[in-house]
Amino acid sequence: MGQSIYLVTLIGTALVLAAAFSSLIAFRFGAPLLLLFLGLGLLAGVDGLGIQFDNAPLAYFVGSLALALILFESGFGTPIAVLRQAGAPALSLATVGVVLTAGIVSVAVYYLTDLGWLESLLLGAAVASTDAAAVFFLLRAGNLHIRERVRSTLEIESGTNDPIAIFLTIMLVEIIAAGSDPAAEVLLVDLISGFFVQMGLGAIVGLLGGIAIVRLVGRFNLDQGLMPIFVLALSLLVFAAGGAIGGSGFLAVYLAGLVAGNSNIRAAASLKRFQEGVSWLAQIIMFLVLGLFATPSQFLGILPAAIAIGLFLIFIARPVAVWLCLLPFRFPRQETAFISWVGLRGAVSILLAITPLLGGLANGRLIFEMAFIVVLVSLVIQGWTIGPLARRLGLIVPKRTGPLDKVELELPGSAHHELLAYTVVAGSPVARGERIPRWARPSLVVRDGRSMKYQEAGRLVAGDHVYIFVSDRYPRLLDKLFASRTEVDPDDADFFGAFAVDPDHSADELEANYEPGLTEAERKLTIGQLMQQRLGGHAEYADRVSLGAIDLIVRDVDEEGTVTSVGISLEPSPSTVTIPAFLSPAELVDRVRERLKRRRAAAEATASSAPAAAEAKSDGEVGTS
């Protein structure tokens, strides 16, 4: 018994360490990290090193707890400003998009397999949501500076679409397990009523739980080492309470993290660092467990059909669902195409595919194995191509600043203030002699191991360590002073347009010069106000607004989010970038329309030429006679 404990611990820690080291490979080559974690699990499983793990309830339990921790950290790190900017399109994708994807995929499943309609819809629901961990990692590991609206939409969607997919999957498992075959109307009523009950209760528990976490942290003066554990336990309590009363525990824990992360919670920086570490550990454990649970030797018989379903999901179901959901939000075609492509499936889909096994469904193992293969297809095809596609579509944003060496320190009683430690970087404005504002006078300068007052240090030089105690409103302004110069790639030199215009000028000037088709109300706005209105009220650096033959690009914004510099591009990206037809249903529709027009014109030409030919023929016959 004692030896077995040591053996299990040895194997478990070895797998976790191997997964942690594999992240170095992923960061180095841009490989999908989830794919490496799953690969390690498969390698250690029954068809690899021979570790037998076939406990579906335990795998689901471990995966659910890990997912709850990941969702809390995801909500905690999502700023409200980002939610305002991309919340509507992201939530459309996370709700309507999930349902559309599940329904479209179920059609392919039904005709490619022997599963019935309900089981086909169940498999579609299991693979309908994108994976937050995979999306976050691939956007960050590849050092991709994507347009802010696109990045925010993808991150919020991947963080919020899990509850909908979980609800659909569990509801369908319960219906199939009950042995009934309900009519479409009954099924639709059950799904809608159950959806509002679960989401409503989950939202209430999440919002109240988030408020309670903030107040409890502020009231109890716990030790700094205990504080993160306290918050971690409270987050799991919110998750369990939401599920216990019949709501969505996953939605509850995400909203609790969102409320807590956007409140003035004490020790926010240390809590965030701790949660990031816990989230990494949760991802590793969840992926390894799901990899161990799979049996690759059983995949061979279903491999062709599962790969076909995965390709159908990537090239048809996801693009169509994204296109329909984003129609009201005026996303340019290249942004819609990129959002369609970054729909990676991951651990959540595999976790949901375990529920048919828990429900004792006859085809439960088949559904799990097919979902596992679909996830692998998504990671292999989409995971390796995100960076190249972003560059092809012109979505890579040039960096505003160069490298920055900065550390945020926490002090007791420093509410609304931060102690920032900067290392002066060669080429930065302060290294070139620019003065630091009065409101941010450094408290201490450390040079060559010697501590001195700022007044005694004189001009700051590269390598100096500067400590500044400042209000939490100003760190972004200081970052610009301490960051090195930006090295812009020659290919990105024209990203911000051919020339600049004053955002305070009237938008009517644009109508007079370029005729973009503005409404009377829009002509009365300034150019900056017009851009903010078209961008949903919130503009960010490098955002673009397409107006007929021109693009307006945000070159800079101030701390309040007001546009302060605008560039004009006379060669808008939609006309210069070729979008693959399978990524843009709109592009495909236009091509079909164009072909129909050509056929109609050819038919009309043929029809009009027929009488003339007949008349010429008769004239020839008369002349001959």
pLDDT digits (tens, 9 = 90+) for 213-251: 999 988 887 777 788 999 999 999 999 999 999 888 888
**Percent of all residues in the chain with a pLDDT value above 70, rounded to a whole number:** 79
501 pLDDT higher than 80? yes
Of 98-107, 284-293, 407-416, 572-581, the poorest mean pLDDT is in 572-581
Q: Indicate whether 471 pLDDT > 70.
A: no
Query: Structure pTM?
Result: 0.76
Q: What's the average model confidence in pLDDT over 535-543?
A: 74
Q: What is the mean pLDDT of residues 132-148?
A: 70
Mean pLDDT lowest for which of 87-96, 258-267, 295-304, 484-493? 484-493
Whether residue 198 has pLDDT greater than 70: yes
Q: With DSSP H G I counted as helix, E B as strand and the rest as coil, what are the percentages for the chain, rounded to 5?
A: 65, 10, 30
- Lowest mean pLDDT segment, chosen from 44-58, 262-276, 293-307, 460-474: 460-474
Least confident of 72-76, 423-427, 523-527, 621-625: 621-625
pLDDT band, residue 370 (cuts 50/70/90): very high
> How far apart (Å, rounded) are the C-alpha atoms in residues 79 and 93?
19
Highest mean pLDDT among 22-36, 131-145, 394-408, 550-564: 550-564
Is domain 2-50+82-193+289-392 given the CATH code 1.10.287 in the classification?
A: no
| Per-residue CA distances from 481 to 217, 393, 421, 445 (Å) | 34, 32, 13, 16
CA-wise closest residue to 72 among 265, 249, 284, 201: 249
Question: Is domain 494-576 in CATH 3.40.630.10, yes or no?
Answer: no
Q: What is the pLDDT of residue 237?
A: 95
Residue 542 is predicted with a pLDDT of 74
pLDDT at 575: 40
**What average pLDDT does the segment 544-570 reach?**
79
Mean pLDDT of the region 392-414: 63
pLDDT at 576: 46
pLDDT band at 383 (very low <50, low <70, confident <90, very high): confident
Does residue 622 have a pLDDT over 50? no
pLDDT for res 463: 86
d(CA 35, CA 581): 27
Q: For residue 53, which amino acid is it?
A: F
Nearest to 591 by CA among 599, 543, 179: 599
438-442's contacts with Cβ under 8 Å and 24+ in sequence apart are: 439/470, 439/471, 439/474, 440/468, 440/470, 440/474, 440/477, 440/478, 441/468, 442/466, 442/467, 442/468
Q: What's the whole-number average pLDDT of the chain?
A: 80
CB 76 within 8 A of CB 272: yes
Distance CA 355, CA 56 (A): 8
Q: Which of 84-88, 106-110, 479-483 has the highest mean pLDDT?
A: 106-110
- For 270-318, the pLDDT digits (tens) are 888 888 888 888 888 888 888 888 888 888 889 999 999 999 999 999 9
The C-alpha atoms of residue 197 and residue 393 are separated, in whole angstroms, by: 41
* pLDDT greater than 90 at residue 330: no
Which amino acid is located at 527 in the chain?
I
Residue 10, pLDDT score: 81
Between 18 and 376, the more confident residue is: 376
Residue indicated by tokens 């040079």: 447
* Domain made up of 405-482: CATH architecture: 2-Layer Sandwich (3.30)
Q: What is the rounded CA–CA span in Å between residue 570 and residue 503?
A: 17
- Give 623's pLDDT tier (boundaries 50, 70, 90): very low
pLDDT at position 230 is: 92
pLDDT band at 210 (very low <50, low <70, confident <90, very high): very high
Query: Is the pLDDT at 573 greater than 60, yes or no?
Result: no
